Amino acid sequence: MQQLATTQQKAPLYEALMHFKKQRIVPFDVPGHKRGRGNPELAAFLGEDALAVDVNSMKPLDNLCHPVSVIKEAEEVAAQAFGANEAFFMVGGTTSAVQAMVFSTTKQGDEIILPRNVHRSVLNALVLNGAIPVYVNPEANDELGIALGMSITQVQRAIEEHPNAKAVFVNNPTYYGICSDLKGIVDVAHKAGMKVLADEAHGTHFYFGKDMPISAMAAGADMAAVSMHKSGGSLTQSSFLLMGPGMNADYVRQVVNLTQTTSASYLLMASLDLSRRNLALNGHDIFQQVVDYTNYVRDELHAIGGYYVFGNDLINGDSVYDLDPTKLSIHTLNVGLAGIEVYDILRDDYDIQIEFGDLGNILAYISVGDRERDIERLVGALADIKRRFERSKKGMLTQEYLEPVVAISPQQAFYAQKELLPLHEAIGRICGEFVMCYPPGIPILGPGEVVTEAVVTYIAYAKEKGCQLTGTEDLQVEKLNVVKEGV
């Protein structure tokens, strides 16, 4: 244990950058701003200290595409912190880590078992490599309007019906903090010879907090994509790709290098190095504070009434096997407001920016950087919103999860000849693009799925309530690209 703590005090890449900075090397390489001198406005905006280490790969600082020195050491220290066999720095966000997991385990025509409420990055990967999704439609909580986790029974059935599938993909947790029985899914999948891939974009703290839901590496998953920048404190776009003992890390790095930049940002990588060190040394205390803040808000809103904060009462041992105790997911419909309406009011009237609002819920992201006075301000604003805006919820749409009708593969649909039709004329046709509310970026409709009347009604209602719809060629989302018939 002492040796582990000593190792985690290191920040190899950060330390190498600081040594390099002291050397005052004269730059005749890229980037062209030359430590900020070539762009004084940018230097004033970001600071000279930041631009002094916005450098290119070189021998003393290693190379992310083929690390042999300080980046390699930093990744080894990170792997130890996460309990993984290998850890890769990812500078293309968790999107690139998720896609690397899919590309490493499947190819064109291979089946992959996954819940439909995955992030668009997963379906984007299927568009690119031609793997075939086998959807495990999660149970839904109709009162809250959210999809839950995958049940073991559903996963077992999917495996039995698709014994040649290569992998099972799991959200750990979902955006709302819902956890499936990950260990149980790993056991079932491995028995069938399938890999398990975990999207832990919102699960960094599972590795560093105390009494958290099980992490992917602890559960024996083969790969996990971890958004260090979300709850862990690193810079936006920086993430980790973790691997268990069943993966060939050298091959995975080749896959990563197919799409990841050859000009990796040392600012992003150093932020991963420092954030990992901070969480490895202080994570228990940091995330206990986060849990305490979340519980405080839950108690306060319970006393205020109207709002419901997701809690352990949702746990059923199956589709809600566990719940992320840091997640401040709040159901708003009982005060007569859609989540997106509360989202807008908080920003416009109270100068509070929360993570997202959907048709019935909001998520206020509490993490390593929050302060007590900010928590109090959020509670006060929500109490005031209830007082000012509370109304009947009659006529409000509550259902969030729409079960897809899959006709053809995402790749086949995305690259097919298409035509642009008004929403209502598209009903019954096969969609050739994505439609999603962002955040969270979970598709309402994906390529290869049938456009139903329920989907069109949902899209129209989401637009009316002010949700930010993305993914379509038509930026106004008044028309949809559908696959041409008879071609």
Most confident range (mean pLDDT) of 39-43, 85-89, 399-403 is 85-89
**Could you say which architecture CATH assigns to the domain 283-389?**
Alpha-Beta Complex (3.90)
What percent of the chain has pLDDT above 70? Answer: 98
Q: Mean per-residue pLDDT for 454-465?
A: 87
Mean pLDDT of the chain: 94
Q: 410-483: CATH homologous superfamily? A: Molybdopterin biosynthesis moea protein, domain 2 (3.90.105.10)
Q: Mean per-residue pLDDT for 41-54?
A: 93
**Residue 199 vs residues 87, 97, 163, 202, 479: alpha-carbon distances, Å:** 15, 9, 22, 8, 31
The string of pLDDT tens digits covering residues 150-172 is 999 999 999 999 999 999 999 99
pLDDT at 398: 64
The string of pLDDT tens digits covering residues 406-449 is 899 999 999 999 999 999 999 999 999 999 887 677 888 999 99
Looking at CATH, the fold of the domain delimited by 2-280 is given as Aspartate Aminotransferase; domain 2 (3.40.640)
Q: Give DSSP secondary structure letters for 345-387.
A: HHHHHH----SEE-SSEEEE---TT--HHHHHHHHHHHHHHHH
Cβ contact 420:474 at 8 Å: yes
Cα–Cα distance, 282 to 205 (Å, whole number): 11
pLDDT at 102: 98
HSE at residue 134, side-chain half, CA atoms within 13 A, is: 22
Residue 486 has pLDDT above 80, yes or no: no
Cα–Cα distance, 276 to 271 (Å, whole number): 8
Residue 60 has pLDDT above 60, yes or no: yes
Record the pTM: 0.94
Report domain extents, the chain. Answer: 2-280, 283-389, 410-483
- At residue 426, what are phi and psi to the nearest 5 degrees? -80, -10
